[in-house]
Amino acid sequence: MRLLDRLQPLALLVLRVVLGAVMIAHGYPKVFGGLQRHVHMVSNLGLPGWLAYVSALAEFGGGILLVIGLLTRCAAFAVLIDLAVAIWKVHWKNGFTAQGGYEFPLALAAIAFALTFFGAGPISLDAIRGGSRAPFKKSSG
C-alpha cells in the first residue's frame, strides 16, 4: 500500500491532464470560430448570452490551467460549474446513458470536484510557486 500512497501525486497529475485535455478539446472550437454559435445556443437555453463567453473561457482557459497545474482549484471549480450547468440545461433530459446523456459530463464533473478539494498536487506549477499544500500528508498534533 505504501507504493500506492507514493503514487498519489501521479494520480492527481493524470486527473488534471485528462480533464484539462477534454476541456480544451471542447472549448477550442467555441473560442476559435464558434463563439457566436455558442452564444446563440446558450441564449436558446434560457440563459444570458454573455454566459457563453464565461463558459468558453472556463472550458478552454480552465483546461489549459489544469494541464499545467496553475490556479488548479479555481480552474477546477470553474469547470465544475460549467459542467453542472451543461448537465442541468443540456444533458439531463437525455437520461444517464442515452445519446447526449449526462454520464460523461458527470464523470468529468466528479474529477473537477476532486481537484477543487485536493488541488494540483506536487507535480504542478501550483506546487512550484507554493500555492498548493500536499493534500495527502497527515497533520501532526
The tens digit of pLDDT for each residue in 94-140 reads 999 999 999 999 999 999 999 999 999 999 999 999 855 555 555 44
> At residue 116, what are phi and psi to the nearest 5 degrees?
-60, -40
Inter-residue contact 121 to 7 (CB < 8 Å): no
What is the mean pLDDT of the segment spanning 82-92? Answer: 97
Closest to 81 measured CA to CA, from 123, 127, 116: 116
Q: What is the pLDDT of residues 27-84, one digit of tens each?
A: 999 999 999 999 999 999 999 999 999 999 999 999 999 999 999 999 999 999 999 9
**Helix pair angle (35-44, 51-68), 10° resolution:** 120
More confident residue, 85 or 1: 85
| Cell numbers that stand for 107 in this block | 464523470
